[in-house]
Amino acid sequence: MSTYRVCFFYKRRFRQATAEAPMELRELFERYSENGAMGVEQLQRFLVEVQGEEGVTREEAQAIIDSVLRDSKYLIWFPKKGEGSLGLDSFFRYLFGESNPPLSPSVHHDMTAPLSHYFIYTGHNSYLTGNQLSSDCSVVPITNALKRGVRGIELDMWPNARKNNVDILHGRTLTTPVELIKCLKSIKEHAFSASLYPVIITLEDHLTPDLQANVAEMVTQTFGDMLFYPKSDGREEFPSPEELKTRITLSTKPPKEYLESKSFKDKDSGSISVKEDVEDAWGKELLGLKSFLDDEDKESFKIIVLSDRNGSEHNHDEEDLDDGDHTINQSIAPEYKRLITIYATKPKLGLREALKVDPNRVKRLSLSEQELAKASHSYSTQLVRFTQKNMLRVYPKGTRFNSSNYNPLIGWMYGAQMVAFNMQGYGRSLWLMHGKFRANGGCGYVKKPDILLKADENGHIFDPKAKLPVKKTLKVVKVYMGDGWNLDFHKTHFDMYSPPDFYTRIGIAGVPADTIMKKTQIMEDDWTPVWNEEFTFPLTVPELALLRIEVHEHNQSEKDNFGGQTCLPVSELKTGVRAVPLCNRKGEKYKSVKLLMRFKFV
């Protein structure tokens, strides 16, 4: 029983329900057991016929039984190894346990294709601890990103105050700098703590040639043999993740090209610059700075803003910023240039020219989220064709001062490999990013689907805007029940006067035709809600679809309370009955909270 106090004297008592197997699972157990016990042969048959584990062996089924029976709470008797059986309770706990996940925990994609064939887990301004204007720059967010499996780290390099060393900071803001060498050492220490596949360091370069030479020395001395760089200038294709395993590589654009690309015009469709859009939003965004700037910072930043706007020097997207210290004709330090593996560019002669595929040389093109959205209207299939061989990096628009993010599908639909995100916050967009890279064992590299890598049988390039027929149906997404909140939360966390009233929102994030959200009924006053509800999702592009799952606690008088979330790549879902762990707002997995669900495709 759990007791809740109402007013001063009145108490309400609620019976604490324990998680029990739903009727459908009881029926499955009866079908695959004899006399109340499921032996190794019966479990093997269940794993093949219900769970879709086609290649499971008798030895693997026996290992599952041995693992479950090691927990004495679920012993039917004390068997010798290889002699035990599962009862209903132990069978249910296996299905609801850590050893029955919805995704494969191992790397299983082909990792020998060029880097351009993969979606890459990519960070934006990876050194920032908070907002884009006044937060500290630190190695901590870099370390946290690498531990999560992020493979793309971005560093903005600027001369320090004395012009004799290199700092990392968000230029023309009030962010406090951190030394480049500290960032490099942090990357070296944590680069392969979560994945052995390569780390790509994107360098935004605002340096003079002498400081570039310093950077080259720091990079080579810090990383040593871990550093990969090309033996010759230019490549016909990028190396593969397998080739670059346990290696670190650099991607940057030299200052000469950096300044030349400051302003560009598409001769065929007009400018794709977003300067006017950003400046229209600038005043509105500035009004919101009070939430994270003190009075002195506001005044200082006001001077910076007015200076930039009056001078009309840039559109406030950080990749178009100019530090004002370079000339177009300056040289680049040769020892620095030779370390660049992924050569970055911005469109200078218009996007049509930039998207032309050079058969003899690969490159990386960078576009802001706004530029990509505008370009997709006129160059939809050209973008897809470009990313089949070359790399496209998409970064947040310059007015996302609070480090928010955009819908990553706008990049993935066109094959963009490096959809760069602010990893330090939280929100539904970031949850999608986390979900995407739970695929392929969480190694940070996800092989792009064939529709984005080659033309179809009629020679047509995939067009995300085209109306397509249903290709696959996620026929059964059944939400049986949830459990674990009473272990991870205080009894009054959701409601002061009673147990929580949970419901689940479930749906698809994908191409526009597939995107939808649905929800279960509300289960009142229950820490272990049982919904037993089933949903169907027809999908036109299942290869890009993510299954979104959120649990909320209904609150009649205020905003509903958050109870957990996760996103799962549909193409990676294991069929059958699966335990789905939920995460907090930041994407960190709860210790105990899970949903029991069933998945089936037709």
Is the pLDDT score of 321 beyond 50? no
Answer whether residue 325 shows pLDDT above 50.
no
Q: How far apart are CA 239 and CA 201, in angstroms?
A: 15
The whole-angstrom separation of Cα 516 and Cα 509 is 7
Average pLDDT over residues 391-417: 96
Share of the chain above pLDDT 90, in %: 74
Distance CA 468, CA 383 (A): 19
Out of 10-19, 218-227, 486-495, 555-564, give the one with best mean pLDDT.
218-227
Question: Which of 390, 353, 354, 351 is CA-nearest to residue 374?
Answer: 351
Listed in order, strand segments (DSSP E) in 390-493 are: 391-395, 418-421, 445-447, 472-483
Give the integer Cα–Cα distance in Å for 442 and 387.
22
Tens digits of residue pLDDT in 543-588? 999 999 999 999 988 899 999 999 999 999 999 999 999 999 999 9
Exactly one of 108, 109, 117, 170 is catalytic; name it.
170
- Angstrom distance (rounded) from CA 17 to CA 26: 18
Give Cα 543 to chain centroid, integer Å.
16
Judge whether 134 and 297 are in contact, CB under 8 Å.
Answer: yes
| Interior angle at CA 204, CA 200 and CA 205, nearest 5 | 120
Q: Please measure the distance between the N-terminal and C-terminal CA atoms of the chain and give it in whole angstroms.
A: 44
Picking from 291-300, 407-416, 585-594, which range would have the lowest pLDDT averaged per residue?
291-300
Residue 109 falls in the annotated catalytic set? no
pLDDT of residue 44: 97
Residue 445 near residue 151 (C-beta atoms within 8 A): yes
- DSSP annotation of 588 reads P
pLDDT of residue 568: 98
Pick the residue with more confidence: 235 or 64? 64
CA distances from 402 to 86, 202, 292, 300 (A): 52, 22, 9, 18
Which of 36-45, 342-351, 593-602 has the least mean pLDDT? 342-351
| Least confidently predicted of 14-28, 163-177, 276-290, 325-339 | 276-290
Give which of 387, 426, 394 is closest to 408, Cα–Cα: 394
172's tokens? 């023309």
| Cβ atoms within 10 Å, residue 34 | 11
Name which residue leads in pLDDT, 346 or 201. Answer: 201
φ/ψ of residue 344, rounded to 5? -100, 145
Q: Can you tell me the mean pLDDT for 327-332?
A: 52
* DSSP 8-state symbol, 212: H
Catalytic residue among 109, 117, 124, 206: 124
Please state the three-class secondary structure of 170-195 as a single string: CCCCCCECEEHHHHHHHHHHHCCCCC
Across the range 183-209, mean pLDDT stands at: 97
Helix, strand or coil for residue 477?
strand
pTM above 0.75, yes or no: yes
Distance of CA 253 to the CA centre of its chain: 25
Distance CA 212, CA 332 (A): 8
Q: What does the buried/exposed string (b/e) look like for 21-33 if buried means 16 or more CB atoms within 10 Å of the residue's CB?
A: bbeebeebbeebb
Please name the amino acid found at residue 92.
Answer: F
Residue 502 sits at the vertex; the CA angle it makes with 500 and 503, to the nearest 5 degrees, is 165
State mean pLDDT over 371-397: 95
Helix (H, G, I), strand (E, B) or coil at 440: helix
The pLDDT score that the predictor gives to residue 231 is 80
Q: Which residues pair with 508 in a beta bridge?
A: 516, 547
pLDDT of residue 101: 97
CA atoms within 13 A on the CB side of 25: 27
Mean pLDDT of 509-522: 96
pLDDT at 283 exceeding the cut of 70 = no
Nearest Cα residue to 252 out of 152, 185, 179: 152
Q: Please report which confidence band the pLDDT of residue 475 belongs to, taking 50, 70 and 90 as the band edges.
A: confident
CA–CA separation, 297 and 315 (whole Å): 22
Output the CA torsion 168→205→197→139 (10° steps).
Answer: 0
pLDDT of residue 363: 94
Three-state SS sequence of 322-385: CCCCCCCCCCCCHHHHCCEEEEEECCCCCHHHHCCCCCCCCCEEEEEHHHHHHHHHHCHHHHHH
Mean pLDDT, residues 116-139: 97
- At 556 the pLDDT is 86
Mean pLDDT over each residue of the chain, to the nearest integer:
87
Across 63-72, 160-169, 286-295, 540-549, least confident range: 286-295
CB 455 within 8 A of CB 582: no
DSSP 510-543: SSTTT-EEEE---BTT-SS-EEEEEEEEEES-GG
pLDDT digits (tens, 9 = 90+) for 55-84: 899 999 999 999 998 875 544 444 444 458
| pLDDT at 598 exceeding the cut of 90 | yes
Q: What is the pLDDT of residue 330?
A: 54
Predicted local confidence at residue 83, as pLDDT: 58
Binning pLDDT at 50, 70 and 90, where does residue 427 land? Answer: very high
| Helix runs in 88-196, H state only | 88-95, 140-148, 180-190
* Size of the chain in residues: 602
Helical (H) or strand (E) element with 573: none
How many Cβ atoms are within 10 Å of 399's Cβ, its own excluded? 21
Can you tell me the distance from the alpha carbon of 195 to that of 279, in angstroms, rounded to the nearest whole number? 40
Contact 159, 211 (CB under 8 A): yes
Taking the CB of residue 45, how many other CB atoms lie within 10 A of it? 15
HSE of 174, CA atoms in CB hemisphere, 13 A: 21
Nearest to 290 by CA among 399, 126, 421, 401: 401
pLDDT at residue number 295: 52
pLDDT of residue 306: 47
Cα–Cα dist 339/205, whole Å: 14
* Per-residue confidence band for 264, with pLDDT thresholds at 50, 70 and 90: very low
Is the per-residue pLDDT at 197 higher than 50? yes
What was the pLDDT predicted at 558?
A: 86
pLDDT score for 279: 40
Per-residue model confidence (pLDDT) at position 472: 93
Percentage of the chain modeled with pLDDT above 70: 82
Q: Catalytic: 326?
A: no
